[in-house]
Amino acid sequence: MINLELPKKLLMAQQMSHQVAATVFRPIARKYDKIEHCDTPQELIPLGQVIKGMGTGSSGAGPESAGDSIKNGANMTQVLTTGEMSWGCIGLMLSIPGLGLGNAAIQAVGTPEQKERFGGLHCAMAITEPGCGSDSAAVKTSAVLDGDEWVLNGEKIFATSASRGDAVVVWATLDKSKGKAAIKSFVVERGTPGMEIVRCEDKMGLRVSDTAAIVFTDCRIPKDNILGSAEIADTAEARKKAFGGVMQTFDNTRPPVAAMAYGVARAALEITKDVLQKEGVEFGYDKSINNSSALQAEIYRMEAELEAARLLILKAAWMADNKQPNSTQASMCKAKAGRVGNKITLKCVELCGSLGYGEELLLEKFARDSKILDIFEGTQQIQQLIIARNVLGKSSSELK
């Protein structure tokens, strides 16, 4: 029988993360929402040191596990802690020193030696280019092997934490004519000659989190800074498998992004219910939705949507921890949570009227922050396309 109760180990991590969100993030969320392009918030530096000291990536079996056959490990821990910290402030959570989307890429496709070498760094991710957004296979940034070094040339935009991080995981192509199979990821450490942060973007939401544009001009990095194999597959099946290895990064990062959407939506919903209850609206759950008021029914529907997103997130993370292919589930949870997260935060602003639109509460900030969660790590449309391909058994060339 399925057991949806969290093991004590995970429950403790979730509770600790909620405490961080409530005592560290919430009190300073508005302050840093008004300050853009600042250095790493000083309040987060001790937190980053604590997290780094605890280590990451450990796996452990839950109390219902049969020996070592069922795992609740790093992926499950990440979605639970990410959801709780996003309840406080997504921008601040993304600004914690030592935690970056690039770290997920290293864990997904890096060798044990690379995980050890780069695991302690704060790694940003650089995929998107001026002419390459949702189509990751259209990457133009090039990497050419010259002796014992790779030489990178190109431009990246919308790289989260790139100006604050210790390193950037960069997607580049070894040979544009070879298509997807030639796309590899490289670790470029901060201060490497030829890598320049040219600007930080002004944004609608996640204002405290830095989002940078990077230019690589004859940027030289060590030969072993490539993640995974440097070989280009020479058959259609091998090329598909090779690019699938690169795309596995998204299977690891999409559930946490979905967890961000879940966390901020839950925060907005809790504030909204508190506001409404103070105005005399009761939520007893003792009547069917058809016998409830329109206001009650609206809240109930949003809670149901949020719970559905939560369960999809847990399933995708559990599958990753147990080495099961989770591409479909990762896209499902990202599509569901990204969509309902934005819908819920906007509806909460609407239901609370002037209180929701003003700055007395954090509702309008949550609404602004939530929009990007339906866009980055693959838009709503891209997620639905991936799901359709997997369900129908179609390739990217067959279903566009």
Tell me how far apart the 2 most distant CA atoms of the chain are, in Å.
73
Tokens representing residue 7 in the block:
């093991």
CB-CB contact of 194 with 210 (8 Å): no
CB-CB contact of 126 with 60 (8 Å): no
Instruction: Give the helix/strand (H/E) hosting 211.
Output: strand 211-222
Torsion of CA 390, 186, 252, 78, to 10 degrees: -170
Interatomic CA distance for residues 127 and 184, integer angstroms? 11
Interatomic CA distance for residues 8 and 64, integer angstroms? 11
Helix (H, G, I), strand (E, B), or coil: what is residue 162?
Answer: coil
Q: Which of 298, 359, 377, 398 is catalytic?
A: 377
Q: Would you give the DSSP letter of residue 363?
A: H
CB-CB contact of 169 with 126 (8 Å): yes
For the chain, the straight-line distance linking the first and the last C-alpha, in angstroms and rounded, comes to: 39
What sections of the chain are H helices per DSSP? Answer: 8-20, 26-33, 45-54, 74-88, 90-94, 101-109, 112-118, 236-278, 294-321, 327-351, 353-357, 363-371, 380-392
CB-CB contact of 120 with 146 (8 Å): no
Instruction: Decide if 350 is catalytic.
Output: no
CB-CB contact of 213 with 159 (8 Å): yes
Q: Which residues are catalytic?
A: 377
